[in-house]
Structure 1
Amino acid sequence: MGVLFPIPNDSELDQAEKLLLALLEKTGDGIHTITLNAEGIGGSDHKQFHFAQNWSIGGFVPVDEMAVAFGRLLAVLVAGAPGGIVLRTWGTKDTVRAWAFREGKTLPLTELETFSAYCRNPETGEYKDPPEDVTYADAPTL
């Protein structure tokens, strides 16, 4: 049996598209990965979307085969499934930002909240050292 999620309506599909565009505007130049996680009845699902962009030359290069499944899961989150978004910008020192989804709305996480979510063992609650090549940052409002 699969995981059961809310079924997005047309309005929620449109909202998901607008949310993705807002996220892309806030992302900036570089190579990025957006990871979505959605919790449903019977389990969870996650999808990644890799892309590069350079606004000075008007370039946005997505990995197209990821886009449809990613968009569907984003619409599931907009439809009310709990979950989150993690944006990782790759570089000499990677930057990680995150948002939580509550009742279809994105809530930006602070640097400390993002660190706490990703540097803590979810089973034991113990903190682990963050990787040396990663910084955590406040997420902007979308």
Structure 2
Amino acid sequence: MTITSQDRTPYEVERSAALVMGFVNVVGDGCHHLAVAASANGGTLSATVPFHNDGETSDLDPDDALEAMTVLTLAAIVGGGAVIRTHFADQTSEVRGWKLVEFYAKPCSASETFSAYCTDPATGELIPPEWGVEYVAAPRLTV
């Protein structure tokens, strides 16, 4: 399934843009990667958006943001999720996630994010967590 900008309603465009900016604004300063995914018809569509926040500015690439908005539109319709990984100078990182439902991002707890990252989707078996990664509760978005 392909979603183009012509397929989206003004509401969907507005909500997906608000979600992308909500994710960017909620994590504060630092080096981040936003990953959004939607699952439909046995496949997964995903987009990754690297960005750096510094004070009041962000270097979010408009083309990456548009790609994320497209995936968010599909995720809002069929279900999906978003994750932000924040990288630190000491080579560690924090991961937080949200479930996407009807153009709203429901924050996941640290244990929900850990389970999503550390469970093999094909077998259901546990996967050891990555070194230096802390799974943290996601904050609520104000969009």
TM exceeds 0.5? Answer: yes
Q: In the alignment, residue 15 of structure 2 is paired with which amino acid?
A: Q
Q: Distance in 1 between matches of 2:15 and 2:23?
A: 12
Pairwise CA RMSD of aligned residues?
Answer: 1.9
Question: Per the alignment, in what secondary structure is the counterpart of residue 20 of structure 1?
Answer: helix
Mind listing any 5+ residue stretches in structure 2 that lack a counterpart?
none
Aligned-pair identity in percent equals 29
The partner residue of 1:76 within 67, 74, 77 is: 74
**Given that residues 8 and 76 in structure 1 are in contact (C-alpha distance below 8 angstroms), is that contact kept between their aligned partners in structure 2?**
no
Q: TM-score, normalising length from structure 2?
A: 0.85
The runs of 5 or more residues in structure 1 that have no matched partner are: none
What is the identity, as a one-letter code, of the residue corresponding to 1:75?
T
2: CA distance between counterparts of 1:62 and 1:20? 10
Within 1, Cα distance between the matches of 2:65 and 2:102? 23
Alignment: residue pair count: 137
Residue number in structure 2 paired with 1:11: 11
Q: Higher mean Cα deviation, 84-93 or 15-24?
A: 15-24
Letter of the 1:13 counterpart: V
Distance 1:74 1:48 in 2: 11
- Which residue number corresponds to residue 114 of structure 1? 113
> TM-score, with normalisation over the residues of structure 1?
0.86
